Structure 1
Amino acid sequence: MNKISPDHSTSSPKVERRLPTVLQILPSLHGGGVERGTIEMASALKENGWTPIVASSGGIMTHELKRIGVRHITLPAESKNPYEMWRNVGRLVAIIREYGVDILHARSRAPAWSSYFAARRTGAHFVTTFHAAYTRGGRLKNGYNAIMTKGERVIAISDFIAEHIRANYDVAPEKIVTIPRGVDCRKFNPAAIHAERIIDMARSWDMTDGVPVIMLPGRLTRLKGHATFIEALAQIRDQEFVAFLVGSTEGRDSYCEELNALIRSRGLEGRVQIKGHCEDMAVALMLSDVVVSATTVPEGFGRVAVEAQAMGRPVIATAHGGSMETVLDGETGWLVPARDVDAMAAALSQAIALPTETREAVALRARAHVMSHFSVDRMCDATIALYRDVLGEQAGVR
Structure 2
Amino acid sequence: MSAHPLAGRTILQILPALDAGGVERTAIDVAAALVRAGARALVLSEGGRGVAELEAAGAEHRPFPAATKNPLQMARNVGRLAALIEAEAVALVHARSRAPAWSALAAARRTGRPLVTTAAGIHRSGSAPKRFYNSVMARGDLVIANSAFTAAHLASEHGDLGARVTVIPRGVDLARFDPAAVTPERVAALRAAWDAGPDARIVLLAARLTRWKGQSLLLKAIARLNRPDVLVVLAGDPQGRDRYREELQSEAETLGLSARVRMPGHVADVPAALAAAAVAVVPSIEPEAFGRGAAEAQAMGVPVVAAAHGAPAETVLAPPACPDGDRTGWLVHPGDEAALAEGLAAALAMSATEREALGRRARTRAVTRFGLDAMTDATLDAYSRLLAGWNR
- Using structure 2 for the length normalisation, give the TM-score: 0.94
Counterpart Cα distance in 2 of 1:393 and 1:335? 42
Report Cα offsets for 1:8-53 as digits up to 9, x if no partner: xxxxxxxxx9522111111112211111111111111111111111
- Alpha-carbon spacing, 1:345–1:18, altered in 2? closer, same or farther (3 Å): closer
Contact 2:301 2:362 (C-alpha < 8 Å) held by counterparts: yes
Q: 1:389 and 2:385 equivalent?
A: yes
Which residues in structure 2 correspond to 1:64-143 (within 5 Å)? 64-143=53-132
Q: 1:240 and 2:236 equivalent?
A: no
- Using structure 1 for the length normalisation, give the TM-score: 0.92
**Deviation of the 1:241 alpha carbon:** 0.9
Counterpart Cα distance in 2 of 1:18 and 1:338? 45
Counterpart Cα distance in 2 of 1:373 and 1:348? 25
SS at match of 1:66: helix
SS at match of 1:244: strand
Counterpart Cα distance in 1 of 2:313 and 2:70? 36
Report Cα offsets for 1:131-165 as digits up to 9, x if no partner: 12211122211111111111111111111111112
Q: 1:49 and 2:38 equivalent?
A: yes
Counterpart Cα distance in 2 of 1:193 and 1:320? 31
Report Cα offsets for 1:175-226 as digits up to 9, x if no partner: 1111111101111001111233222222222221121110001100011011
Name which of 245, 253, 273 aligns with 1:256: 245
SS at match of 2:185: helix
Aligned to 2:374: 378
Counterpart Cα distance in 1 of 2:212 and 2:19? 17
Report Cα offsets for 1:281-305 as digits up to 9, x if no partner: 1111111110000111111110000
Name which of 148, 159, 165 aligns with 2:137: 148
**Deviation of the 1:339 alpha carbon:** 1.0
Aligned to 1:6: none
User: Which of these two proteins has the greater Rg computed from alpha carbons?
Assistant: 1
Q: 1:30 and 2:19 equivalent?
A: yes
Give, as a single letter, the amino acid of the residue that structure 1 aligns with 2:103.
S
Q: 1:219 and 2:202 equivalent?
A: no
- Alpha-carbon spacing, 1:305–1:59, altered in 2? closer, same or farther (3 Å): same
Counterpart Cα distance in 2 of 1:95 and 1:260? 46
Counterpart Cα distance in 2 of 1:82 and 1:144? 11
Name which of 152, 156, 164 aligns with 1:163: 152
Unpaired segments of 5 or more residues in structure 1? Answer: 1-16
Give, as a single letter, the amino acid of the residue that structure 2 aligns with 1:108.
S
**Deviation of the 1:343 alpha carbon:** 0.4
**Deviation of the 1:393 alpha carbon:** 6.5
Name which of 325, 328, 332 aligns with 1:332: 328
Q: Give the number of aligned pairs.
A: 380
Counterpart Cα distance in 2 of 1:197 and 1:103? 40
Aligned to 2:219: 230
Counterpart Cα distance in 2 of 1:272 and 1:203? 14
SS at match of 2:237: coil
SS at match of 1:238: coil
Contact 2:204 2:279 (C-alpha < 8 Å) held by counterparts: yes
Give, as a single letter, the amino acid of the residue that structure 2 aligns with 1:299.
E
Counterpart Cα distance in 1 of 2:350 and 2:161? 48
RMSD over aligned CA atoms reads 1.6
Unpaired segments of 5 or more residues in structure 2? Answer: 1-5, 319-323
Aligned to 1:343: 339
Counterpart Cα distance in 1 of 2:304 and 2:65? 37
SS at match of 1:316: strand
Contact 1:30 1:248 (C-alpha < 8 Å) held by counterparts: no
Identical columns (%):
43
